[in-house]
Structure 1
Amino acid sequence: MTPPSHLLHTEEEEAVRAAVRALLTDHCDPATVLARTESDQACDRDLWKALTEGMGLAGLLVPEDRGGQGATHREAAVVLEELGRAVAPVPYLTSAVIATEALLGCGEAAADLLAALASGRTIGALAVPLATAPGDAYPLARYADGVLRGEVTGVADAGAADVLLVPSDGGLCAVDADRGGVTITPLTSLDRTRPLATVTFDAAPARPLALDAAAPVALGLRAGAGLLASEQLGLAEWCLAKTVRHTKERHQFNRPVGSFQALKHRLAQVWLDVVNLRAAARNAADALATGSDEPDLATALAQAYASPVAVRAAEEALQLHGGIGMTWEHPVHLALKRAKADSLALGTAGRHKEALAGLVALPAP
């Protein structure tokens, strides 16, 4: 069956994919990612610079007249697919999508900061727990006399951020991460390619960007959840391709293990899941880009489906690689950790199913 034409990739999107994949092939191989997770600096600054200053990808969601590339969520989704395939340790989702989308909802007060994020020379992070789903409550800092006080735990990529966007009782505020009054304490994270931290504000100087934080934060979380499905798609596709290749090359009883019927069935199920995830992720990206077909519904649908598929694909990849898949040197564990962490990020599948049921007026009995 031919998919709807609006869900197919355009020539421009495929060109973006080819350029990003070539860059990641040269600068983000599994050995490099593994070495990065064992270092004190989780974020690969050189790779980030190549993606942003070199290719202009940090500003895809930002209009040209505001310092960006004037592209859409569709192009950003393609970038995230490739970053997901490589489990790339860069803050693209948190800075170029979530923080940028939140700033787009702040109007002219955030114009200079938005241009800085679009250039890639400044990294932003929205100071809410990564587990927060669109529509969920999140902690608010206390704002008074130009300073913030409070604490937020589970903030993704806070350690790499130059500026933090902080929801407060006085609206959405911008805080320089290296200013006095800001303490960032790293947490032990399952996925070390997207580290978490607790951020404490103790009379931290802040600049208000919007009188009400709810609307810009909602935009950021929705875009993040919708495009996270594309990252999970890229990860699942890599797991499937890597596993198929291994089962063709690995022999037992003088036959490729991939010829055994039980393994064929398992891989066929993963393939079917990935195909369906591709449709859901593309639909979410297109809905966010065009504003049509109910972006909230498309996002909830994609996230309700994406997390279980990505986790299943990574688990099958680890198991079907046999003993070598259990070793630290093999990259499949990086994919499994990212898949597990993503399944909790921006709302669990169960949380999105609840949202989906409400949107279509079919709540659970």
Structure 2
Amino acid sequence: MVAVFSEDHVSLRASMKGLFAQHSSESEVRRLMATDEGYDPVLWRQLAAGQELQGLVVPEEFGGSGYTWVELGVVLEEMGRALFCGPYFSTVVLAATCLVESADESAQKEYLPRVASGEAIGSVAFVEASGRWDEAGVTMEAKKVAAGYELTGQKFYVLDGHVADFFVVAARTSGEISLFIVDRESAGVSAHLEETLDQTRKLATVTFHDAPARLLGAENSGWSILGRVLKLAGIALAAEQVGGAQASLDMAVDYAKTRIQFGQPIGAFQAIKHMLADVMLEVESARSAMQVGLAAASGHEGLDLDEISPLVQAYCSDVFELASHQNIQVHGGMGFTWEMAPHLYFKRAKSMALFLGNSDSHREQVAKALGV
């Protein structure tokens, strides 16, 4: 296993665990998931001002802290453990990373300080009606006009698209993919909040009709940027999934210790013991895989992000699904009732297993990267 965590990371984890225990309790998660916005704007600003979380991996010259993906992974794992409701993944992992990777200094100066300060929420509008998370799925055409570019079409499964202040949009120019920034307040832009399985994480359909767009980076360089961002985002998502899997395991163990059946805790029965031991093994293995992924994302020598990211995504996704499912099994018939917490993690696991592509597509990427 690649060693990536230091004593400073242990301290960071403890701080984040306490922060989200206070601000992302089950009752708060349930309150926020019932709202259209899906997050607390006051807390969002506090996270930027007090904890500087939005600027964690934003370069210092653009108002951020300039940390690595290892530190970001620690934060995301604790967010996943607490089912944090907020536009952090969409803004920091997706939109801000596109800006950083674009090397477009003008756009970076305009948008990254606003992200780091908590002033702006961003998202990436990428997936179209085909539901594909790859280069071939992008068919939207950018129209060249006197003032620059205009976009027309729809993008689906846009994370936090209903509250985003700006979008990084993938569209075709001369047959190749380019990236564009579109401000939410621009003419011809509308977002519709969709009903989804996981109410703790909001998805929207965003419609563009002759919407003015600003080119991000060089024309026709979009996939070289977005392809890398999606690999990095896969590692980030894996960190969240490990946190959710650990929370599911902890919940199942606690219940097995206190639920009395036939005069003893159900955790004393061999079937339950074996089930939880198997889940613990998978969660620890997923954590090891995640650490390798974070090292690759941070530029650790000898680690190929293109090979490692889809492998980590596939495995951590499967483990979160397993852990959340077995948590419900341990709780029995009441495990999926609305009043109990296990179903919240199960729904997050199921929805995130499809976000950025499913496990089969990730394994196919691994095979291609290995030349199989």
Match of 1:151 among 149, 154, 161: 154
Decide whether the 8 Å contact of 2:94 with 2:229 is kept in 1.
Answer: yes
Give a deviation string over 1:126-166, Cα, whole Å, max 9, x none: 11139654656334342332322121112111012110111
Spell out the pairing of 1:314-353 with structure 2 (5 A cutoff): 314-353=324-363
Mapped partners of 2:300, 2:226: distance in 1 = 17
Which residue number corresponds to residue 309 of structure 2? 299
Structure 1, gaps ≥5 residues long:
none
Once the two structures are TM-superposed, the CA of residue 214 in structure 1 deviates from its matched residue by 1.4
Q: Does 1:168 align with 2:171?
A: yes
SS in structure 1 at match of 2:9: helix
Find 1:254's aligned residue among 263, 270, 276.
Answer: 263
Partners of 1:177 and 1:35 lie apart in 2 by 26
Structure 1 match to 2:29: 33
Conserved in 1, the CA contact under 8 Å of 2:13 and 2:78? yes
Residue in 2 that maps onto 1:218? 227
Q: Quick one: which of 172, 175, 186 aligns to 1:179?
A: 186
Q: Contact conserved, 1:175 with 1:206, CA < 8 A, in 2? A: yes
Quote the offset at 1:238 in angstroms. 0.3
Deviations 1:256-301 (CA, angstroms, capped at 9, x unpaired): 1001000111111100100110011111011100253101111111
Which is worse superposed, 217-226 or 245-254?
217-226
Does 2:70 match 1:74? yes
Is 1:56 matched up with 2:56?
no
Q: TM-score, normalised by structure 1?
A: 0.93
Counterpart of 2:112 in structure 1 is 114
Aligned to 1:58, what secondary structure does the other structure show? coil
In structure 1, what residue type is equivalent to 2:63?
G
Q: TM-score, normalised by structure 2?
A: 0.92
Amino acid at match of 2:343: H
SS in 2 for 1:206: strand
SS of residue paired to 1:39: coil
The number of residue pairs the alignment matches comes to 358
Match of 2:321 in 1: 311
Q: 1:116 to 1:141 in 2, by over 3 A?
A: farther
Q: State whether structure 2 residue 142 is matched by structure 1 residue 142.
A: yes
Change beyond 3 A, Cα 1:134–1:17: farther
Aligned to 2:203: 196
1:52 shift after superposition: 2.2
1:286 aligns with 2:295: yes
CA gap of 1:310–1:349, structure 2 versus 1, over 3 A, is same
In 1, the alpha carbon distance for the partners of 2:300 and 2:212 equals 36
Q: CA deviation at 1:117?
A: 1.6
Which of 101-110 and 225-234 deviates more?
A: 101-110
Residues 84-118 of structure 1 show CA distances to partners (whole Å, capped at 9, x for unaligned) of 01111112211101111111122213222122222
Letter in 2 for 1:98: L
Name 2:96's counterpart in structure 1: 100
CA distance, structure 2, for counterparts of residue 251 and residue 162 of structure 1: 51
Supply the distance in 2 between the matched residues of 1:261 and 1:312 (Cα, whole angstroms): 19
CA contact (8 A) 2:138 2:172 kept: no
Which secondary structure state, in structure 2, belongs to the residue aligned with residue 149 of structure 1? strand
Q: Is the 8 A contact 2:317 2:359 kept in 1?
A: yes
> 2:121: which partner in 1?
123
Contact 2:161–2:203, Cα closer than 8 Å, also in 1: yes
Contact 2:255 2:331 in 1 (8 A): yes
State the distance in 2 between where 1:154 and 1:139 align. 16
Moved more, 111-120 or 131-140: 131-140
User: Which deviates the most, 201-210 or 75-84?
Assistant: 201-210
Instruction: Give structure 2 stretches of 5+ with no counterpart.
Output: none
Identity across the alignment (%): 36
Amino acid at match of 1:149: T
Q: What secondary structure sits across from 1:52 in the alignment?
A: helix
Tell which deviates more after alignment, 243-252 or 144-153. Answer: 144-153
The reply on whether 1:231 has 2:248 as its aligned counterpart is no
Question: Are 2:127 and 2:137, in contact at CA under 8 Å, matched by a contact in 1?
Answer: no
SS in 2 for 1:174: strand
